[in-house]
Amino acid sequence: MATVTFDKATRVYPGSEKPAVDGLDIEVEDGEFLVLVGPSGCGKSTSLRMLAGLEDVNRGAIRIGSRDVTHLPPKDRDIAMVFQNYALYPHMSVADNMGFALKIAGVPKSEIRQKVEEAAKILDLTEYLGRKPKALSGGQRQRVAMGRAIVREPQVFLMDEPLSNLDAKLRVSTRTQIASLQRRLGITTVYVTHDQVEAMTMGDRVVVLKDGLLQQIDSPRNMYDRPANLFVAGFIGSPAMNLVEVPITDGGVKFGNSVVPVSREALTAAADRGDTTVTVGVRPEHFDVVELNGSAAKSLSKEDSDAKAGLAVQVNVVEELGADGYVYGSARVGGTDKDLVVRVGGRDVPEKGAELHIVPRPGETHVFSTSTGERLSD
Ligand SMILES: Nc1ncnc2c1ncn2[C@@H]1O[C@H](COP(=O)(O)OP(=O)(O)O)[C@@H](O)[C@H]1O
Ligand SMILES: [Mg+2]
Sign of CA pseudo-dihedral 291, 327, 193, 86: positive
Answer whether 45 contacts ligand 1 (Cβ < 6 A): yes
Ligand positioned closest to the Cα atom of 39: 1
pLDDT value of position 272: 87
Q: What is the 3-state secondary structure (H, E, C) of 112-142?
A: HHHHHHHHHHHHCCHHHCCCCHHHCCHHHHH
Sign of CA pseudo-dihedral 218, 222, 225, 226: negative
Residue 142 · residue 162 · CB < 8 Å = yes
Q: Which residues of the chain have pLDDT under 70?
A: 1, 293-308
Please give the Cα distance from 212 to 39 (Å, whole number). 11
Atom 4 (ligand 1) nearest CA: 13
Its pTM surpasses 0.85: yes
pLDDT value of position 345: 92
Please give the Cα distance from 131 to 96 (Å, whole number). 10
Helices (H), the chain: 44-52, 94-104, 109-123, 138-150, 168-185, 196-202, 220-225, 230-235, 264-272, 302-307
Atom 8 (ligand 1) nearest CA: 46
pLDDT value of position 299: 53
| CATH domain 4-234 topology | Rossmann fold (3.40.50)
pLDDT value of position 20: 98
Answer whether 44 contacts ligand 1 (Cβ < 6 A): yes
Ligand positioned closest to the Cα atom of 84: 2
> In the chain, which segments carry CATH 3.40.50.300?
4-234
pLDDT value of position 305: 44
| 150 C-alpha to ligand 1 centroid (Å) | 28
| 6 C-alpha to ligand 2 centroid (Å) | 18
| 39 C-alpha to ligand 1 centroid (Å) | 12
| 377 C-alpha to ligand 1 centroid (Å) | 34
> In the chain, which segments carry CATH 2.40.50.140?
239-368
Amino acid at 165: N
Q: Which CATH superfamily is domain 239-368 in?
A: Nucleic acid-binding proteins (2.40.50.140)
Atom 9 (ligand 1) nearest CA: 46
pLDDT value of position 297: 61
Ligand positioned closest to the Cα atom of 47: 1
Please give the Cα distance from 197 to 284 (Å, whole number). 16
How far from 103 is each of 99, 107, 151, CA to CA, in Å? 6, 6, 11
pLDDT value of position 295: 67
